[in-house]
Structure 1
Amino acid sequence: MKNLLLIDALNLIRRIYAVNEPKHSEHQQAHITACCQRVEQAARSLLKKSAATHAVAVFDGDKSWRYHFYSKYKENRQPMPESLSSNLDRFATAFTNTGIKCFNPVHDEADDIIATLATKAAKANVSAIIVSTDKGFLPLISEEIAIYDYFKKSTISLEDIKSRFSVTQNKLEIFWALSGDKTNNIPGVTGVGVKTAQELLAKHSRLDDMLIDDEIKPAVKAKLEAGVENYITSLALVTLRKDIEIGFSLKDIRVG
């Protein structure tokens, strides 16, 4: 049986790096060394837990299509610390030491690469485990695709999603398109916050249906009508692509 392990590399690295991040530059290299060791330990643990036959750690490329589609995408994000960005090759080695291949796309985001790989694997009846704390992967959960939070040591369930967002999994992307996402500077519909979006989605699954529902408050309806363009933009930004040209096949990422 084939099992595919997909690691959101920078998500794992940055979470590990943030623990006890030193304030003084003279301690940075020691911290990087310790973090590399922890990343390698995490990779070995994940290989064992997933019984992976194939695995890849995917890094982010530079300026994906989302930055060109929406110029303010991730505008409020703090840049990666220089001490971390200048040592990513050491972290890549930490993965390869365990037999996990690394993939560094030129421009594509790791999220889209991982979504493409997981979807293709599922279609080929290969189970996939995505390791990330990024909520953007949650719409992918299915019988063939699991999301694992390494830091909580738990697989995320559909019940976890409902408990966290108060909407069902199949409505997540619409929920984020309505309410926006401050983490990635995705606008959403102006004036429609989390609570209003949850109330709308308790009754409807499509914006079109909301726009023709006479029971929705006029003030909310007006915001929806004025925010259609922002909604369309936001929905495109929060929806993972599953059609990226990868350039390698499953046999190329067999655990070495």
Structure 2
Amino acid sequence: MPLHLILIDALNLIRRIYAVQERPFLLNNELAENTKRQVLFNTQQGCVSALGKMLEQHQPSHALAVFDSIAPCWRYQLFPDYKKGRKKMPQHLADKLSDIQDEFMRFSVDSLVSEADEADDLIATLAVKVALRGQNVTIVSTDKSFLSLLGPNIKVYDYFNRRYLDETYVREKFKVKPEQLVDFWTLTGDSTNKIPGVAGIGQITASALLSQYDSLAALLNAKDLKQSVMTKLHEDVDQLKLYRQLLTLKQDIPLGFNLKDLRLPLASESE
């Protein structure tokens, strides 16, 4: 059978399922201990159910669940305000992750936990590596950063809304092409990750500029920009380049394993 790898952005999945399970029971932002155990059990069951549905729908030959590192990744070292103010994972959920990983393994879906990189970078590295071989990858996540990877062999699937986030979705939402998204967010900023972007440049202006000039590099070298726009762009070019670096997914992380290690048993039997 043709190779089809699904890469699951594990904490994106788990934390969203947990939030749904937790919400009805929150009182003064705290859970009673017995309720906490029930919420964790429901979360684990929800994750197992979600994985089963993914495997059934996508019929992959290979699969991997990718987790973020426990330690802060390299982006925090370059930009201390990265993701500033984002709610931390509850410790009781963090303590449950190994049990969820064990449940995933019952489906023969292994888990990769990074030592220093974000799950996004690991997923991007593996997705691009497989796609360059002409083989197919489905990234399961609602994280918009993966949309910059879209191509003939890389798809992004939103499990919660049961839809693919494709090029049409990108054009309708952001008014740019997938390959322009990193430049687009560099200009507009990315509130999710607390990256400020260029003051005074919003989505409409950014999409219009990229439609005309195609890339941030071309913009910075353009001589026919409005003076007001040129001034904004050139106020701190080094900071702008930092924002772009933070928003760009790494694609060259040494992985230390082969695709055959991710092959699912039924796929092996059919080969």
Normalised to the residue count of structure 1, the TM-score between the two structures is: 0.95
- How far 1:222 sits from its partner (Å)? 0.9
Distance, in Å, in 2 between the alignment partners of 1:206 and 1:255 is: 40
Are 2:60 and 1:52 aligned?
yes
Post-superposition shift, 1:213? 4.4
Aligned-partner Cα distance in 1 for 2:221–2:38: 60
Q: Distance in 2 between matches of 1:236 and 1:211?
A: 16
Answering whether residue 126 of structure 2 is matched by residue 117 of structure 1, we say: yes
C-alpha deviations, 1:84-112, integer Å up to 9, x for none? Answer: 11211122122112211111111111101
User: Whole-Å Cα distance in 1 between the matches of residues 179 and 10 of structure 2?
Assistant: 26
What's the secondary structure of 1:6's corresponding residue?
Answer: strand
Does the 8 Å CA contact 2:210/2:216 hold for their aligned counterparts? no
Counterpart for residue 268 of structure 2:
none
Measure, in 2, the Cα distance between the counterparts of 1:240 and 1:60. Answer: 14
Superposition map of 1:90-105 within 5 A:
90-105=99-114
The residue that corresponds to 2:32 in the other structure is 25
In 2: Cα distance, 1:160 partner to 1:224 partner: 28
Q: 1:5 — aligned with what?
A: 6
The match for 1:145 is: 154
CA distance in 1, matches of 2:101, 2:124: 20
Contact persistence 2:110–2:262 (CA under 8 A): yes
Q: Which residue does the alignment assign to 1:238? A: 247
- Corresponding residue to 1:171 among 173, 180, 188: 180
1:141 positional shift: 1.0
Residues 214/121 of structure 1: CA separation in 2 closer, same or farther (3 Å cut): closer
Work out whether residues 220 and 233 of structure 2, in 8 Å CA contact, stay in contact via their aligned partners in 1. yes
**SS in structure 1 of the partner of residue 212 of structure 2:** coil
| Alpha carbons of structure 1 residues 128 and 208: separation in structure 2 relative to 1, 3 Å | closer
Q: Deviations over 1:195-235 (max 9, x none)?
A: 32122122112334334545533222211110312210111
The alignment status of 1:217 with 2:218, answered yes or no, reads: no
For structure 1, which runs of at least 5 residues remain unmatched after alignment?
none
Whole-angstrom distance in 2 between the partners of 1:248 and 1:182: 35
1:47-87 per-residue CA deviation (whole Å, 9 max, x = no partner) reads: 11111111100000121111112222112211112221121
Q: Does the 8 Å contact 2:127/2:154 carry over to 1? A: yes
Deviation at residue 242 of structure 1 after TM alignment: 0.7
- Figure out how many residues of one structure are paired with residues of the other and give that number: 256
Call closer, same or farther: CA 1:208–1:60 in 2, change over 3 Å. closer
Q: Describe the shift of the 1:223–1:144 C-alpha distance in structure 2 as closer, same or farther (beyond 3 A).
A: same
- Alpha-carbon distance in 1 for matches of 2:221, 2:62: 48
Q: Name the SS of the counterpart of 1:128 in structure 2.
A: strand
Ranges in structure 2 where 5+ consecutive residues have no aligned partner: 266-271
Are the aligned partners of 1:6 and 1:128 in contact in 2 as well (CA < 8 Å)? yes
Distance in 1 separating the partners of 2:44 and 2:242: 38
Task: Write out aligned runs for 1:76-87 (5 A).
Answer: 76-87=85-96
**Would the alpha carbon gap of residues 123 and 213 (structure 1) be closer, same or farther in structure 2, given more than 3 Å must change?**
closer
Structure 2 counterpart of 1:203: 212
- Tell whether the 8 Å contact from 1:74 to 1:183 is kept in structure 2 after alignment: yes
State the alpha-carbon separation in 2 of the partners of residues 45 and 218 from structure 1: 53
Q: Does 1:34 align with 2:42?
A: yes
Residue 189 of structure 1 contacts residue 227 of structure 1 at CA under 8 Å; is this kept in 2? no
Matching residue within 183, 186, 192 for 2:195: 186
Compared CA separation, residues 39 and 71, structure 1 to 2 (3 A): same
RMSD: 1.5
Distance 1:121 1:238 in 2: 22
Contact persistence 1:177–1:234 (CA under 8 A): yes
In the alignment, the residues of structure 1 paired with residue 130 and residue 12 of structure 2 have an alpha-carbon distance, to the nearest angstrom, of 22
